[in-house]
């Protein structure tokens, strides 16, 4: 993930974040592609990629910055 691969999937990102203690929340039909990962007082909000399952590099960068700021990586 830290190398910003061009084929990193949402499922892989979800697995990494859950391994770091985040839980995935989705507020039903009205939230659309928005997804939040929550751990204690920390929230990561992203758009779930579609139609493909590949996460954009900008999203990966944002997640990495967040994780570094919270001393998780």
Cβ within 8 Å of residue 71, ≥6 positions away: none
Q: Is 2 a member of any domain?
A: no
Q: Is 63 a member of any domain?
A: yes
Q: Is 26 a member of any domain?
A: yes
Range of the domain at 60: 10-69
DSSP helix/strand/coil, 29: helix
Total domain count for the chain? Answer: 1
Q: pLDDT value at position 72? A: 87
Q: Is 5 a member of any domain?
A: no
With cut-offs at 50, 70 and 90, classify the pLDDT of residue 10: very high
Q: Is 3 a member of any domain?
A: no
Local structure of residue 54 (DSSP, 8 states): B
Q: Is 25 a member of any domain?
A: yes
Q: pLDDT value at position 69? A: 92
The CATH code of the domain that includes 16 is 3.30.920
Give residue-wise pLDDT tens across range 18-71: 999 999 886 655 556 778 888 887 899 988 888 889 999 999 999 999 999 988
């Amino acid at each position: 993930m830290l190398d910003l691969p061009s084929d990193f999937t949402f499922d892989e990102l979800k697995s990494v974040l859950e391994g770091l203690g985040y839980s995935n929340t989705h507020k039903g039909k009205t939230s659309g592609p928005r997804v939040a990962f929550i751990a204690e007082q920390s929230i990561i909000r992203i758009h779930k990629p579609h139609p493909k399952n590949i996460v954009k590099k900008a999203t990966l960068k944002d997640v990495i910055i967040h994780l570094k700021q919270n001393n998780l990586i």
